[in-house]
Structure 1
Amino acid sequence: MMNHKITGEEVSPLTSVFACLSLGISCVLSLYIWSSEHNRDHPSIVKRRFLSVFFIMLISPTIIYIFSAKEVLENHNFAELLGLKADGCLLAALVPIGLTGVLFLGPLCVQILNYQGTPNFLSGKYWKEHLRNILWWRNHVVAPLTEEFTFRACMLPLMMQSFKPISATMITPLFFGVAHFHHIIERLREGKELKNVLLVSCFQFAYTTIFGFYSSYLFGRTGHFLAPFVAHVFCNYMGFPDILEIIKQNGMKKILYICLYLIGLFSWIYLMPMLTNPNWYNNNLYNWDR
């Protein structure tokens, strides 16, 4: 890759935001082109939505090409703009797994204790049960793959050309968080109360936006699509930490769990900028010194 960096303000911020908004809307609308009486977890709906999101994934790079500054396209390999490169690939896969594992130190320790020393993802029974489950494939493969490609690999290069890297990583996750509001429609169809639906959706917006920041940060710092993808898979496997598991504990066990959760969180915050040093990944695309 050339030493020229995307320095921001090469394309109007409104243009980049419009392009990203178009991508987000297209991604959500593609899920609803199929009319059916079944809910989102029905195998037929899941398969149809696979087709939709893969189609959006295929056409998303076109939006980057149309809305990217001419200078950006001339100075950078297009595949590398999308984070698709071999250089530093192994590091970009392993570091995010370790870093995300640090974040989930508390939940992982709880899981190990509950499974008597063996996390369930290390057991053959886990894989035997789940590899035949289409919902598992949706949650752990297809969703991370298509969402990270669309909302990170395609949106961030657009935002980085108009905003400073840290600003882009703060703004882009909002598209990802807002996109999850479409679940309101499905929850209302299931007969759930509007108040509860709104509360759940707002909570979902909050944690998907926070995850979106982490994922965007990984992509921007490493320059690899693989980095946010593996982090997304790990997070989807873990799910949102079970706070009730801590609350129901007593005595020293509760204190231990709280300490592990806090150690994991603060260690993650401390290690994140260190372990995503762009120089480690030969990432010369974005100027993080500004």
Structure 2
Amino acid sequence: MVEDDDLTPNLMSNQMWSSNGEFVPPDGICWVSVLSCLLLACSYVGSLYVWRSDLPRDHPAVIKRRFTSVLIVSAVSPVFVWAWKMYTGVMPGPSLLALMGIRFEGLIPAIILPLLLTMVLFLGPLIQLAMDCPWGFMDGIRVTFDPWFWALCLSDMRWLRNQVVAPLTEELVFRACMLPMLVPCTSPSTAIFTCPLFFGVAHFHHVIELLRFRQGTVSGIFLAAVFQFSYTAVFGAYTAFIFIRTGHLVGPVLCHSFCNHMGFPALGMALEHPHRFTVLSCYLLGVLLFLLLLFPLTDPIFYSLPTPVCTLASVPSSLCIS
């Protein structure tokens, strides 16, 4: 009896390298990559709702349960990338952890420069906060180094969610795991704008809770959701850009935490500020400096060339070179 042909897709046989050494992605890899990213996004969002509760999302009990869920999904998320590698036959030189931005080369610049760049963008809001803060500069320094202040922060479930758990798990899942799967089938530049779509759509789940607890009108809730999708998609593109340029996870995580702390710039308050001209000038200066420093401060030469995820690109990209 003749054995049946193996019907399992064998993408490994289609993988090859061109004569000039460039990586040629296997046939069908894009479908596998997109479906893998979609499954990963659904797993992350779905984990938030495995616990049945009538309490709002900011209740400490709800936050603790969701910590458990997303941390489990985040711990399992590298398995998605590993399974994707095995199924598609993509065997890059860098290790799995390096592809996900967990490496030591260029670590110090990756901690400092992307965060500095993000703070430059928020120059206006930072100046506005400094003007309105009742504390003096030295008071702020003392509070920053006060262990009791940090103990209070760490005991606040909402602070832990917004500043630690959400930035770490979301960047791990939506950047470190998704970008290595998307880059081979598109390009680094296309992946930067594709990856945030999963991230933005994932935030639509807030609509469910707002409608459930009737926190506003239906039209108002959906308008807020559209705005949040737009904002998170743009932010996701920015952190994806940082991840590809630096090849590190730590930069996007720190930038995410900082942006969660700052929130969306209060332009309305800036327009009504007593020192409106100074504040608005700082807003404009911050944006201009950000655009000028965007590529210099993320130059891959600071982070050890080539960045691991760039080795998966099927065609050379200007994002991956110094």
Flag whether TM exceeds 0.5 (same fold). yes
Q: Which range moved further: 7-16 or 154-163?
A: 7-16
2:95 maps to what in 1? 77
Q: Which has the higher helix share?
A: 1
Change (3 A) 1:254 1:48: same
Q: How does 1:60-209 map to 2 (within 5 A)?
A: 60-68=77-85, 72-115=90-133, 116-118=135-137, 122=141, 123=143, 124=146, 127=150, 129-191=152-214, 192-209=216-233
Compare CA radii of gyration and give the structure with the larger one: 2
Q: What is the SS of the residue equivalent to 1:187?
A: helix
2:248 to 215, 218, 224: 224
Q: Distance in 2 between matches of 1:72 and 1:109?
A: 48
Asked if the contact 2:271–2:280 (Cα under 8 Å) also holds between the matched residues in 1, the reply is no
Asked if the contact 1:131–1:137 (Cα under 8 Å) also holds between the matched residues in 2, the reply is yes
1:81-127 Cα offsets, whole Å, 9 max, x none, are: 11100111111000011101101000000111112553997424753
Asked if the contact 1:8–1:162 (Cα under 8 Å) also holds between the matched residues in 2, the reply is no
Q: Distance in 2 between matches of 1:119 and 1:159?
A: 47
1:247-283 Cα offsets, whole Å, 9 max, x none, are: 2125xx2121111111111211221111111121014
TM-superposed CA distance for 1:226, in Å, is 0.6
Q: Distance in 2 between matches of 1:6 and 1:94?
A: 32
2:75 maps to what in 1? 58
Change (3 A) 1:59 1:259: same
Q: Distance in 1 between matches of 2:174 and 2:291?
A: 23
- Superposed CA RMSD: 2.2
Asked if the contact 1:176–1:209 (Cα under 8 Å) also holds between the matched residues in 2, the reply is yes
Work out the percentage of aligned pairs sharing the same amino acid.
Answer: 38
1:182-241 Cα offsets, whole Å, 9 max, x none, are: 000000011131101101111111111111011000101000011101111111111111
Change (3 A) 1:9 1:262: farther
1:48 maps to what in 2? 65
* Residue identity matched to 1:265: V
Q: Distance in 1 between matches of 2:188 and 2:285?
A: 28
TM-score normalised per structure 1:
0.92
1:214 to 238, 261, 281: 238
* Residue identity matched to 1:149: L
TM-superposed CA distance for 1:8, in Å, is 6.6
Asked if the contact 1:6–1:72 (Cα under 8 Å) also holds between the matched residues in 2, the reply is no
TM-score normalised per structure 2:
0.83
Residues 1:254 and 2:276 aligned together: yes
Asked if the contact 1:8–1:164 (Cα under 8 Å) also holds between the matched residues in 2, the reply is no
Q: Distance in 2 between matches of 1:6 and 1:78?
A: 20
Asked if the contact 2:128–2:270 (Cα under 8 Å) also holds between the matched residues in 1, the reply is no
Specify which structure has the bigger relative contact order, considering alpha-carbon pairs within 8 angstroms and separated by 6 or more residues: 1
